[in-house]
Copies of this chain bind each other. A is one copy, B any other.
Amino acid sequence: MRRTIDLPFADFPGYRLKLAAGKATNGLSKLLSEFDLRVSEAMILLFIEANPACLQSEIGRALNIANPNLTPILSRLETSELVFRQPIDGRSNGLHLSRNGAPLVKKMHAQMQAYENQILEQLPPHLRDPFNEALEILAS
């Protein structure tokens, strides 16, 4: 008989949030690996899709990514020809999806939306609104 193990933090809301978030992120990573994208890259692509001509600094503020960490990510997306930079003035560039990038992001967006819907559909219907309300409070 196996020794009993105690998990003293099993009921900590923070711990359970982290487990749930990790599970969601892992599933998303798997989905995105078919597009050869990481989660951070996919979020950035969705942001550019929704906000054409946005600045790198706007992405950083919206997604809470520090500017020094954004530079290499955008360089990769530019190298893989999903995104291009269009000079606005001497120091800033508007970011756009390329002709290759736009349809790929559209397809990826649809799959991400379906995946996120599945997360919520794991819950019985009567828990969905309360769960969203709770997350709204805890995430703000």
A138 at the interface (CB under 8 A from B): yes
Inter-chain CA distance A43–B14, complex, in Å, is 12
Known: A123-B138, A131-B131, A138-B123. A18 touches B24 (CB 8 A): yes
Contact with B along A121-137 (1 / 0, CB 8 A): 01100110011111111
Number of copies: 2
Question: What are the residues of chain B within 8 A of A23 when measuring CB–CB?
Answer: 138-139
* Smallest beta-carbon distance A65→chain B, Å: 13
A70 at the interface (CB under 8 A from B): no
| Chain A interface main SS type | helix
Inter-chain CA distance A14–B20, complex, in Å, is 8
B51 touches A19 (CB 8 A): no
Contact with B along A42-65 (1 / 0, CB 8 A): 010011011100100010001000
B133 touches A13 (CB 8 A): no
Inter-chain CA distance A134–B120, complex, in Å, is 9
* Smallest beta-carbon distance A102→chain B, Å: 14
